[in-house]
């Protein structure tokens, strides 16, 4: 008969044996199930506004739209805010414009609260004062275009209230082609749900949003549901990143940024005294084409006497000391220009808009050490106003914060334009040729490009350089210029001018 002691020792041995085994040998752990996906949120309100000399009654819908996999399961939620004119006898023929900002990683807050939405936030038009702290001024967009077009503001996955859900993964959405695919899917779904396939369709994007607009226009041509667009509104275009990336060995950027430096130096009265801005910039263009470009490409073969003469001419255009330009080998990086132009006053230029100025306590840092004054001096007003507007005017109640920007996206963004496994060498992003091809397949599509003279991140001369190449028909491109920066609409005169240009552009598309 087995003793109690023997049984006890056997039990202890078994416990010791079990304790030493990997958990996977004890039991098969069930994979963690994704959280159940709730019904998409939707908030509908009704409003009215004066646009185009008419009283416009419209419906505002702030809502989630689920993108689903082939099995019909939701994988991503796209948040949008749409404004549709009410009382329209045949909505199927009414234009609709889809709007987004850039980043990548930015929600549509800037164009929503700064230009095209029915309610706008006020910031200092002359870029002389910081936006301060709340409260901020809000008012109706009396110059808006709701009499001409319905509007749909899109927040791509990871921005605003948009996110992956269910079994969705951010890597399926955070990339150049992935983003275009998801936004085009949303547009098709919105058009189908609202019965708007016969409506004239436009895209309006800013900065990387212009990259997205071109990629989306191309993506909409495929997918088994070919959708042709009537027009693109590109604000501060970024189609070929070679012309908007100021880096040591990127020779293109020295060319494309020089006229914007000249414009900004003129604005701050460091160059071009007694000349109009347009005449001064035309002279700078000629200098760039005829003198500066050959000098850059000759490099170390350029004779010292010619180099000194060119440095003198550059000083007359961009307001920097001739010796500083010589010491820089005729190549001025943008962050150094921001730091150097008003160094004598202890101020650094904004990057998005060279009109803005930030204090420089550290006079020896490589670039503005506080960051971009044209960003931090307005972002508080835009963020607070958008959150207030959603809650109070559109009666939105969500269980998570609205992300006006998401810094996590930039570090995980996949710029590679080809599928995994396909050979590709890293290069500057360029969707400009894709635009040229789309415009030739769709000859009715028109493009308006809005450029800020003081935009020091997406320079106006880069737009001219980009649209003069890449197989783009210049006859179908409408170039517009404004005396402000990247978000030219923060400057009241340019806001009025831009809204007028958009009105004309939409009218001509009828």
Domain hosting 334: range is: 260-374
Q: Can you give the pLDDT at residue 496?
A: 98
Q: Can you give the pLDDT at residue 64?
A: 97
Residue 23 clears pLDDT 50, i.e. is over it: no
Q: Can you give the pLDDT at residue 29?
A: 60
Instruction: Indicate the pLDDT class of residue 18, thresholds 50, 70 and 90.
Output: very low
pLDDT tens-digit map of 393-448: 999 999 999 999 999 999 999 998 888 889 988 889 999 999 999 999 999 999 99
**How many structural domains compose the chain?**
2
Helical H runs in 274-327? 277-287, 293-298, 304-318, 322-327
DSSP state of 352: S
Per-residue burial over 347-370, b = 16 or more CB atoms within 10 Å of its CB, e = otherwise: bbbbbbbbbbbbebeeeeeebbee
4 within some domain: no
- Shared-domain flag, residues 355 and 399: no
Residues 6+ apart with CB under 8 A from 503: 52, 145, 148
pLDDT tens-digit map of 458-497: 999 999 999 999 999 888 999 999 999 999 999 999 999 9
Instruction: Indicate the pLDDT class of residue 9, thresholds 50, 70 and 90.
Output: very low
Burial of 173 (0-12, 13-18, 19+ CB in 10 A): buried
CB atoms within 10 A of CB 396: 21
Residue 3 clears pLDDT 50, i.e. is over it: no
- Shared-domain flag, residues 288 and 368: yes
Select from 336, 355, 374 the last residue of a domain.
Answer: 374
- Shared-domain flag, residues 154 and 299: no
Instruction: Indicate the pLDDT class of residue 366, thresholds 50, 70 and 90.
Output: confident
How far apart CA 239 and CA 431 sit, in angstroms, is 5
331 within some domain: yes
- Shared-domain flag, residues 343 and 415: no
Q: Would you call the peptide bond into 31 cis, given omega within 30 degrees of 0 as the criterion?
A: no
- Shared-domain flag, residues 217 and 297: no
- Shared-domain flag, residues 141 and 156: yes
pLDDT tens-digit map of 99-111: 999 999 999 999 9
- Shared-domain flag, residues 89 and 218: yes
The overall average pLDDT reported for the chain is: 92
251 within some domain: no
């Amino acid at each position: 008969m087995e003793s109690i002691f023997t049984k006890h020792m056997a039990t202890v041995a078994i416990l010791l044996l079990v304790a030493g085994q990997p958990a996977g040998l004890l039991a098969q752990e069930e994979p963690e199930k994704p959280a159940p996906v709730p019904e998409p949120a939707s908030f509908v309100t009704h409003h009215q506004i004066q646009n185009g000399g008419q009283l416009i009654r419209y419906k505002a819908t702030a809502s989630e739209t689920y993108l689903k996999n082939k099995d019909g399961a939701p994988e991503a939620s796209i948040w949008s805010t749409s404004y549709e004119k009410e009382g329209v006898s045949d909505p199927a023929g009414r234009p609709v414009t889809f709007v987004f900002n850039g980043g990548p990683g930015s929600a549509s807050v800037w164009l929503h609260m700064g230009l095209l939405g029915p309610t706008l936030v006020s910031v200092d038009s002359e870029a002389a004062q910081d936006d301060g702290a709340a409260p901020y001024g809000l008012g109706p967009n009396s110059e808006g275009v709701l009499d001409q077009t319905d509007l749909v503001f899109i927040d791509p996955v990871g921005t605003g209230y948009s996110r992956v859900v269910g079994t969705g993964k951010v890597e399926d959405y955070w990339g150049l082609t992935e983003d275009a695919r998801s936004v085009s899917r949303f547009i098709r779904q919105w058009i189908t749900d609202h019965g708007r396939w016969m409506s004239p369709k436009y895209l309006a994007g800013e900065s990387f949003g212009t990259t997205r607009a071109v990629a989306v226009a191309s993506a909409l041509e495929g997918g088994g549901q070919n959708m042709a667009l009537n027009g693109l509104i590109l604000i501060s275009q970024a189609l070929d990143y070679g012309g908007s990336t100021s880096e040591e060995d990127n020779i293109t950027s020295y060319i494309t940024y020089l006229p914007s430096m000249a414009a900004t130096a003129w604005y701050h009265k460091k160059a071009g005294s007694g000349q109009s801005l347009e005449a001064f910039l035309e002279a700078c263009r000629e200098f760039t084409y005829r003198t500066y470009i050959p000098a850059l490409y000759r490099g170390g073969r350029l004779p010292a006497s010619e180099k000194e003469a060119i440095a003198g001419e550059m000083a007359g255009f961009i307001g920097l000391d001739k010796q500083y330009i010589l010491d820089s080998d005729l190549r001025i990086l943008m962050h150094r220009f921001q730091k150097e132009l008003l160094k004598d006053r202890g101020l650094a230029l904004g990057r998005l808009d060279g009109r803005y100025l930030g204090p420089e306590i550290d006079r020896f840092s490589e670039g503005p050490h506080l960051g971009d004054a044209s960003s931090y001096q307005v972002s508080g007003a835009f963020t607070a106003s958008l959150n207030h507007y959603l809650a109070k005017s559109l009666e939105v109640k969500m269980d998570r914060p609205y992300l006006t920007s998401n810094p996590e996206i930039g570090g995980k963004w996949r710029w590679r334009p080809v599928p995994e496994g396909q050979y590709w060498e890293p290069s500057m992003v360029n969707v400009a040729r894709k635009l040229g091809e789309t415009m030739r397949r769709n000859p009715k599509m028109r493009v308006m490009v809005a450029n800020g003279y003081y935009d020091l991140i997406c320079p106006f001369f880069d737009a001219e350089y980009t649209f003069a190449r890449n197989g783009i028909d210049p006859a179908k491109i409408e170039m517009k210029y404004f005396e402000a920066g990247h978000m030219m609409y923060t400057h009241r005169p340019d806001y009025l001018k831009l809204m007028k240009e958009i009105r004309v552009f939409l009218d001509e598309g009828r």
